[in-house]
Structure 1
Amino acid sequence: MHLPLKGIVVLEFSQYLSGPCAGLRLADLGAQVIKIERPQKGEAGRKLAIKNLWADESSLLFHTINRNKESFTADLDDPQDMQWIKRLIGQADVITHNFRPGVMKKKGLHYEAVKEINPGIIYTEISGYGNDGPWKNKPGQDLLIQSLSGLTHSTGNYDDNPLPFGLGIADYLCGNQAVQFILGALIRKKRTGKGAFLQLSLMEALIDFQFEFFTTYFQSKRQHKRSAVSNGHSLLSAPYGIYKTRDGYIAIAMMPLQKLNAAIACAALNVFEEKEAFEKRDEIKAIISAHLLTATTASWLKKTQPLDLWVMPVLNWRQLKETDGYKVLQMEQQVQLNDKEITTTRCPVRINGQLFLSAKPAPAVGQHTENIKATLSLKL
């Protein structure tokens, strides 16, 4: 397959999740992504282990978001190493970094300095909270961003404590937004020759993610409220939510109450009109909850699915892997790491029906330094 970004060179001065997430997707698209790392230790994300899982000297998490990349080590305080970095910048198309504001300027690698070396560079800067204001030097960690952004008041029920999303959602969203705008900047560069200075922050990414809630708040001046029962979305009416059955759970999405009742036959629902579905949603959801406990998940699906109602079982990952729906997606791929294979997920996009698969693992610290230097020397 001829990948669309083949020939594009990306220098990744990034660590942990947001910047490396962007680099992962650019590498999937065919770009040569070169991680610029500290000698010996590498980037800090190599030691960020989830459930203490390690693939080798680096964590399993590091390998999941840094596969298919190269590693070039340099001491940014060493003048000789900086000469190599400047040569790399001269050959690059894109730079990404997610350090705190001011860090790259101290190293002499801020946008204005880099632009002097390579006017067409697409320089992408990811921060926690932007470059100005009282939060700019606060730690840009995902849970902290979620907590400040209001997102923790969207998950769970009304009486629950604030709940985090449960994934590094700010990092993932911001990294993928960076990819969108890098691609846009590459298209413009192809047409005009002009580079770009892109600035994103995890906070802005999460505010954008909550556009429905913020738009509603701006107009009503009222904080949205989670349902007291089976909250699925604070702005939606009953029956939207997840409900316990006799032996599991089912998810019920948007639908008229009486259309649902035609399938589940709950006498207590007959007294409610559709216009009451939001105003009395907690009362309605409590009735639905009690009724669904009287039968199994399979029995409710047997009654609702022939009517094409938006109802699905709630699966864990083991159950999901056993379904034909999951198998046909072919979302798994193997990454070859020394004498073993790591199973991870693939790029979730197909081009002309073909999957993006690569067995190339995340690089060892400095694995490609000498080869890259040799290539640069040949271009002098």
Structure 2
Amino acid sequence: MIVLDFSQFLSGPYAGLRLADLGARVIKIEKNDSGDICRSLYISNLELDGDSTLFHSINRNKESFSANLKNEDDYHAVAELVKKADVVIQNYRPGVIEKLGFSYEEVKKLNPNIIYGSISGYGSDGPLIEKPGQDLLVQSFTGIPWSITSDRKKPTPYGLAIADMITGAHLAEGILASLVRGTITGKGAKVEVSLLESTLDLMQEIFRNVLQDYKKNYVLAPAPKGIYETKDGFIALEAESVPKLGKIMNCPKLMTFEERTSWVDFKDQIKQILQGHFVQKSSNDLINILEREGISCAEVFNWKQLIEHEGFQILEMVQNVYRSNGTKLTTLRCPIRIDGERFLSSIGSPKVGEHNESIRREFNF
């Protein structure tokens, strides 16, 4: 299966990465010289072989064909690739892909059976279509930052690009479903996802209540669920009976909160009482005490603790990938297993236009 990936940044390339991990041949269509903007998108001060490590991690296991789509010869070369492709992915701002001549309608003329995956920020119509489709902005629009902060005074966004990543996953899901349908009907499809809709889908737990009464501020984590400081670190506590915790911790005050509604109404007070007890003991001691009584809890790890833990190491999630010049990146593998098989590939991300000549020879243009 050949996937032509016109997309940039994170959401579209992540969809392409997942398809590549599952066996697709993914060819990035990039601008001459500069390529995917993600090459210069830095989330840290780390750079590898001239490109950001973010680009390396999201664009491994792909080929690169660079072109100036406003140039007639380059346009026709890419059009020939479209004719051979099974899937096209794009996430340009509204109107851009149309100007470049590779809208769904134009691509369908070249390849009637194409599966065309399209990502937008806020959908294909409405008052937000011109707004930049960026992860932080979408998180903010959906109100997610209010679900993270504990004091409801300062909204805090996720430190991960959750809108981009889930949208890419949804696009891959829609493409795979369309490919299955195509084997039955012989028809292509246009698959559309947006950062806004995909992020809203992540919020099922919140919206089950919000849709009943959107004017009310719902408590997402009634006591005792939350993260607590200990003598030497932090632990996380799942939803549990407050009186039961009171008995375990030898705290009569907690045992008075017998009604479940009080765990919401007096959430802050309950957590403050618990915090006073937890901070006197080490994380390990608390884990042992709580788990012995059947309480769901975990230590809050830092990256070093995570990577050195047997539970992480046994997953074999880490793999090394290499560019054609030998540059190595240590990164994560595909998280999916099929019939027990882990999907690994040592192929690193491509240089801009690295595969132009080999692709031109292969497809005779």
> In which range does the TM-score fall when normalised by the shorter chain?
over 0.9
Alignment of structure 1 residues 234-273 onto 2, 5 Å: 234-273=219-258
1:365 maps to which of 324, 349, 352: 352
Question: Contact 1:213 / 1:224 at 8 angstroms: preserved in 2?
Answer: no
1:289 aligns with 2:275: yes
Q: Deviations over 1:245-276 (max 9, x none)?
A: 11111100012123323432222212110322
Question: Contact 1:24 / 1:68 at 8 angstroms: preserved in 2?
Answer: yes
Please state whether the residue corresponding to 2:222 is helix, strand or coil: coil
Question: Contact 2:138 / 2:163 at 8 angstroms: preserved in 1?
Answer: yes
Alignment of structure 1 residues 152-171 onto 2, 5 Å: 152-171=145-164
1:12 aligns with 2:5: yes
| Alpha-carbon distance in structure 2 between the residues aligned to 1:182 and 1:301 | 43
| Alpha-carbon distance in structure 2 between the residues aligned to 1:222 and 1:288 | 30
1:215 Cα offset (Å): 2.8
Q: How many residues align?
A: 363
| Alpha-carbon distance in structure 2 between the residues aligned to 1:267 and 1:245 | 20
1:192 aligns with 2:185: yes
| Alpha-carbon distance in structure 2 between the residues aligned to 1:376 and 1:335 | 27
2:330 maps to a residue whose letter is T
2:304 maps to a residue whose letter is R
Question: Contact 2:245 / 2:254 at 8 angstroms: preserved in 1?
Answer: no
1:221 maps to which of 211, 214, 223: 214
1:223 Cα offset (Å): 3.6
The answer to which of 78-87 and 14-23 deviates more is 78-87
| Alpha-carbon distance in structure 2 between the residues aligned to 1:46 and 1:342 | 15
| Alpha-carbon distance in structure 2 between the residues aligned to 1:295 and 1:187 | 55
Instruction: Compute the RMSD of aligned alpha carbons.
Output: 1.4
1:235 Cα offset (Å): 2.5
| Alpha-carbon distance in structure 2 between the residues aligned to 1:198 and 1:349 | 22
The answer to which of 60-69 and 35-44 deviates more is 35-44
Alignment of structure 1 residues 308-323 onto 2, 5 Å: 308-323=294-309
1:68 aligns with 2:61: yes
1:279 Cα offset (Å): 2.1
Question: Contact 1:224 / 1:235 at 8 angstroms: preserved in 2?
Answer: no
1:350 aligns with 2:343: no
Q: Deviations over 1:11-33 (max 9, x none)?
A: 00000100000001000001000
1:295 Cα offset (Å): 1.1
1:98 maps to a residue whose letter is N
| Alpha-carbon distance in structure 2 between the residues aligned to 1:32 and 1:302 | 49
1:90 Cα offset (Å): 0.7
Please identify runs of 4+ aligned residues in structure 1 that moved more than 6 A.
Answer: none
The answer to which of 367-376 and 267-276 deviates more is 267-276
Question: Contact 1:264 / 1:300 at 8 angstroms: preserved in 2?
Answer: no
1:44 Cα offset (Å): 1.1
1:194 maps to a residue whose letter is K
Question: Contact 1:257 / 1:274 at 8 angstroms: preserved in 2?
Answer: no
1:323 Cα offset (Å): 1.2
Question: Contact 1:246 / 1:294 at 8 angstroms: preserved in 2?
Answer: yes
Q: Deviations over 1:29-74 (max 9, x none)?
A: 0100000011121111111122221111211110000000000111
Q: Deviations over 1:179-215 (max 9, x none)?
A: 1110000000111111001111111111111122223
TM-score scaled by structure 1? 0.92
Show the counterpart of 1:331. 317
1:345 maps to a residue whose letter is L
| Alpha-carbon distance in structure 2 between the residues aligned to 1:133 and 1:255 | 43
Show the counterpart of 1:39. 32
Question: Contact 1:256 / 1:274 at 8 angstroms: preserved in 2?
Answer: no
Please state whether the residue corresponding to 2:265 is helix, strand or coil: coil
1:278 aligns with 2:268: no
Question: Contact 2:322 / 2:348 at 8 angstroms: preserved in 1?
Answer: yes
Please state whether the residue corresponding to 1:34 is helix, strand or coil: strand
Identity %: 44
1:159 Cα offset (Å): 4.1
Q: Deviations over 1:122-177 (max 9, x none)?
A: 10110111121222111111111111111111101124411101111100000000
Question: Contact 2:230 / 2:281 at 8 angstroms: preserved in 1?
Answer: yes
Show the counterpart of 2:328. 341
Question: Contact 2:5 / 2:13 at 8 angstroms: preserved in 1?
Answer: yes
1:56 aligns with 2:49: yes
Show the counterpart of 1:96. 89
TM-score scaled by structure 2? 0.96
Please state whether the residue corresponding to 2:136 is helix, strand or coil: helix
Please state whether the residue corresponding to 1:342 is helix, strand or coil: strand
Show the counterpart of 1:205. 198
| Alpha-carbon distance in structure 2 between the residues aligned to 1:24 and 1:42 | 17
